[in-house]
Amino acid sequence: MKDFVHLHVHSEYSLLDGSARIDELAEQASKLGMNALALTDHGVMYGV
């Protein structure tokens, strides 16, 4: 799965739309052998 990248991912910073923590997203992507992960939060820039 290393060439696959989810292009629509919301973290806990997309209020009312996501609940995943960025560190947990990165850890899970790594466990799955993914070498990239898009973060598409909206409305705020807190996660940057």
Whole-structure pTM value = 0.76
pLDDT, position 1: 58
How far is CA 9 from each of CA 14, 24, 45, rounded to the nearest angstrom? 10, 12, 14
Number of domains in the chain: 1
pLDDT, position 2: 63
The stretches in the chain having pLDDT less than 70 are 1-2, 47-48
Structural domain span for residue 4: 1-37
pLDDT, position 24: 95
Within-domain flag for 27: yes
Within-domain flag for 7: yes
Q: Residues 36, 5: contact at Cβ < 8 Å?
A: yes
